[in-house]
Structure 1
Amino acid sequence: MIAAAQTPRRRRGFAALMSVLLVVIILFATAPLLSVLLSSWIAAANDCVLNEGGVHPCVIAGVDHGETLAIMFVAGWFMFFTVPAGAAALAVWLIVLVLGLVMRRQGRNPAQ
């Protein structure tokens, strides 16, 4: 009876862990893209010049955010690392998910 009570808890734990890992992998892989999009949106909303060529002044509410926006924009180059690493992590995640589901199915009905 004790083993039967722990099984649903383990299943929920596995599902929760896999869900959290998926979100972390996706956020890691897309973080540079999100940085570029956010900096571009902020610069466009405030009529600022933003490019890889250098830092341009961007005064928002009396404070110059040009350097911060330039760093966020250039951080997009990290996509050359994060996207392939995220794809590899996603492949490993998928393998672990399939193995976990197969093991769960075999544990429930060992005759198959």
Structure 2
Amino acid sequence: MTRIGKSLIMALILGGALPVTTARAALHPYHDRVAQIEMLLASEKLAHALDMAPIESLLLLGMGPTGKIGWSVESEACKLTITLIPVPPSMPGPTNYKIDDISACE
């Protein structure tokens, strides 16, 4: 490519005539699942919903049609469902999660 060609491309990019896109960095599925579990374990909302009882099991229920992710959480006296919402990063980086809903204990 000639010097003029390179200069023209740079001018078009800087001037906004050519869009520049960035790819979002995705975590390996293993690390993404670890991020979900860490968020659950650190949640004060979940701790209070379980009445501070220790967690005995976590079971991934899967992703629903709206993109929300369901988890079943059990303690000795309580079984509940918690729903997470994926929060895509505004810049390249991993997806974060926030709690959407926690069911009542069964």
Output the TM-score relative to the length of structure 2. Answer: 0.30
Write 1 or 2 for the structure with the bigger share of helix: 1
Larger radius of gyration: 1
Asked which structure has the greater RCO (Cα within 8 Å, sep 6+), the reply is: 1
Write 1 or 2 for the structure with the bigger share of strand: 2
Output the TM-score relative to the length of structure 1. Answer: 0.29
